[in-house]
Chains A and B, each alone.
Chain A
Amino acid sequence: MIYLDNAATSLQKPESVVRAVSEALCSLGNVGRGVNAGSLSAARVVYGTREKLSAFFGGDDPSRVCFTCNSTEALNIAIFGLLGPEDHIISTDLEHNSVLRPLYRLEDRGAALSFLAADRKGCVDYDDLPGLLRPNTRAVVCTHASNLTGNALDIRRIGAFCAEHGLLFILDASQTAGSFPISMTEDNVSVLCFTGHKGLMGPQGTGGMVIAPGVEIRPFKTGGTGVQSHLRSQPEAYPTRLEAGTLNGHGIAGLSAAVDFLNETGIETIHRHELDLMARFYDGVRAVPGVTVYGDFDRERAPIVTLNVGDMDSGEVSDILMEDFGIAVRSGAHCAPRMHAALGTTAQGAVRFSFGYFNTMAEAEAAAEAVRSIAEG
């Protein structure tokens, strides 16, 4: 199989990640539950991973790295823990349902939403941002890059806008963590939400949030913490504040090894390789008669190429790619309804090719050849 669905999950993981999870399964107890060799082994692994992730994202306090199951959970915790029905929130048309659905639920409770509009190439005009402000605007919640087109947003500019207007900046880094540089301080991020299993190359079921100083999130969950057990309420100190229940220690051990791999390899090296793969594929399909490619390829972007072949059902194209060519891609709506609406692909859907560090040029070329073959009928 040629796996080109890395925007969904990075199927191929570094060997060190596989080993770390395997070893953890045989050695880790439960973090903070008792003080025995097993629980302390787990606590050391988890704390070490907090330190690595804090440094990786330019944070300065490992205790403000809180683990979740994925970025969806992190975004829910951030959105419902910081915002309320009295607030106005700015987002964008590029968003995944992991941002949209929590915001829509908040809207149902009385909050007001505004969306920075995307054009037919999936691009936004940042000059439109000031016009969206209202007296009760509280936050900008947005993705770093569209999971559909790959178009990246200028988070440095959005962060500066938030700083200028005293807004919280909640960032969904699902598509960029691990291959784009992100700095909590320089990008003025209030809460960075990440998943561990995509660009970070860790196991599924890992993710989390990095929280800036002064940002106090109401707990989404309450429950067992292993500390302050006689308190009726969730302890206030981070990270316990947001971590009720047993953590995915085995997965976090794998995530720790994954961050080591990223640091050793270098995210610039990773990003360059992924973009080279994307460019090879893009160059092979962009001019094929009947093929429509979506997105803006003149600016910074994630390694994604999304296309349609004539008016073919996107699901049919993906099925042919899998069954006849052994190529795994993602078709359909991609949990990005506003982005599809902006592109005009709501009915047809689209076929997404997303590249990862372990893909090869030969695979990118084979995928382009397969698209050409399908387009020729």
Chain B
Amino acid sequence: MREKKPMAVFTFYTTAAAMAMEKLCRERGLPGRLGPTPRSVTSDCGIAWLAPLSDREILENAPGAPEFAGVYEREL
């Protein structure tokens, strides 16, 4: 069983926006990875950006980031 940790969950309106987020973070060395959007956030399908909760602010304010559909805190 994977140990759960507090995470920031960034959701997007499109897959393209999620891919833009991954590209931005990889280019700038920002933390996180793509993963399934937790069902507790939305029952819709979709790709989310998952990062340690401690990095929420830096990611939320990253210049050039795509529009977020929402930002959530979850134990994942």
Contacts and interface: CB of A to CB of B under 8 A. Distances in A.
Interface of A: 31-35, 40, 43-44, 46-47, 50, 62-63, 226-231, 235-240
Interface string B29-51: 00000111000000111110000
A363 B65 CA distance: 51
B19 A43 contact: yes
Nearest to A47: B19
A236 B13 CA distance: 9
Given A44-B19, A47-B19, A229-B45, A240 B34 contact: no
B20 A47 contact: yes
A237 B13 contact: yes
Interface majority SS on A: helix, strand, loop or mixed?
A: loop
A44 B18 CA distance: 10
Contacts, number: 68
Interface majority SS on B: helix, strand, loop or mixed?
A: mixed
B25 to A, nearest CB: 13
Given A47-B23, A229-B44, A230-B43, A40 B34 contact: yes
B16 A239 contact: yes
B44 A32 contact: no
A235 B69 CA distance: 12
Contacts of A50: 16
Nearest to A226: B45
Contacts of B59: none
A258 to B, nearest CB: 20
A235 B14 contact: yes
B20 A227 contact: no
A230 B42 CA distance: 10
B17 interface: yes
Nearest to B67: A237
B17 A226 contact: no
A240 B44 contact: no
A229 B36 CA distance: 14
22 contacts: A32-B15, A34-B36, A35-B34, A40-B34, A43-B18, A43-B47, A44-B19, A46-B19, A47-B16, A47-B19, A47-B20, A63-B20, A226-B15, A227-B12, A227-B15, A227-B46, A228-B46, A231-B44, A235-B14, A237-B14, A238-B16, A240-B15
Contacts of A34: 36, 45
B16 A240 contact: yes
A237 B17 contact: yes
A50 B23 CA distance: 13
A240 B46 CA distance: 12
Contacts of A31: 15
Nearest to B12: A227
B47 A32 contact: yes
Nearest to A44: B19
